Structure 1
Amino acid sequence: MSWTVSGGTIAPGASLGWWFSWGGNGDVGPQLIQAEPLGASGELTTVDVAEGLDANGHLTYYATVRNDGSQSVAFQWRGGGF
């Protein structure tokens, strides 16, 4: 299953952390998560990907994007399972 989620705009040199959660117990299997630039000159790096399990047994996915370019850039998250 592939998916996309609106991200936002990130300034040059900035990093932003996001979390992703699905219904049920939240476990949708291993996920590839990547920030996709939506404009020219976008250079984004997904620097961290993690999973967390809360006390209720719900799994949440986390990712951090960093703008390595010289301009602000709009982006969306995209991903999918293996």
Structure 2
Amino acid sequence: MVVALDLQDFLLRARVLKLYRHALRISRRAPPDSKDEVRQIIRQEVGNNRTCKDKQRIRFLISDGQERLKRLDETLDMQGR
């Protein structure tokens, strides 16, 4: 069964996918011994919220994810990765 998305749902989905792809790209820079763990955490976070339908909660999760990703990126930069 295919469910049609309204424009707002479509845009939120696009933002989630963009964040997910960006997170996986940043995870490539993680140290080799923790790279798999970082990817697993990213997948788990997305999977845990896969069924969320509350648009306000989704926006919060995107914002929180962006902040967490920014901190991870900064940490990897400090480690010279």
TM superposition score category, shorter chain reference: under 0.3
Of structures 1 and 2, the one with the larger relative CO (CA 8 A, separation 6+) is 1
Structure with a larger share of its residues in strand:
1
Structure 2-normalised TM-score? Answer: 0.24
Structure with a larger share of its residues in helix:
2
Between Structure 1 and Structure 2, whose CA radius of gyration is higher? 2
